[in-house]
Amino acid sequence: MTGKTGTIVALAVAALMLLPACAGPKGPPDPAKVQEKLTATLDGEKELIRSTVASAERADNLVALLDERDRLVAEYAESVRAYRERITALTADYGAERDSLDEAISGYNKERSEAQRQIVEVIDAMKKETTAEEWKVVAKYQIKKLNPRELAYEQAGGGS
Partner 1 sequence: MIIALLTAMYVLLGGAAGVTGGALNPAAVKQIGKQVEVAVTDPARAEAAAETLGELKTEIKAFEKAFSKSGKELTKLYKDHEADADQMLAVLDELGSDWEATQQRAIDLRFDLKKSLTEEEWAEVFDGG
Would you list the DSSP string of 108-147?
HHHHHHHHHHHHHHHHHHHHHTS-HHHHHHHHHHHHHH--
Interface with partner 1 in residues 58-77 (CB under 8 A): 69-70, 72-73, 76-77
Tell me how far apart the alpha carbons of residues 35 and 152 are, in angstroms, rounded to a whole number: 9
What letter does residue 58 receive in the DSSP assignment? H
Beta strands in the chain (DSSP E): none
Residue in 45, 12, 46, 41 with CA at minimum distance from that of residue 153: 12
Can you give the length of the chain in residues?
160
For residues 48 and 72, which CB has a smaller minimum distance to partner 1 in the complex? 72
Residue type, 91: T
Interface with partner 1 in residues 129-148 (CB under 8 A): 130-132, 135-136, 139-140, 142-143, 146-148
Q: Of the candidates 8, 9, 11, 49, which one interacts with partner 1 according to CB under 8 A?
A: 11
Per-residue binding string, partner 1, 102-121, x by CB under 8 A, is: x--xx-xx--xx-xxx-xxx
Which residues here bind partner 1, judged by CB under 8 A?
A: 11, 14-15, 17-22, 69-70, 72-73, 76-77, 80, 83-84, 87-88, 91-92, 94-95, 98, 101-102, 105-106, 108-109, 112-113, 115-117, 119-124, 127, 130-132, 135-136, 139-140, 142-143, 146-149
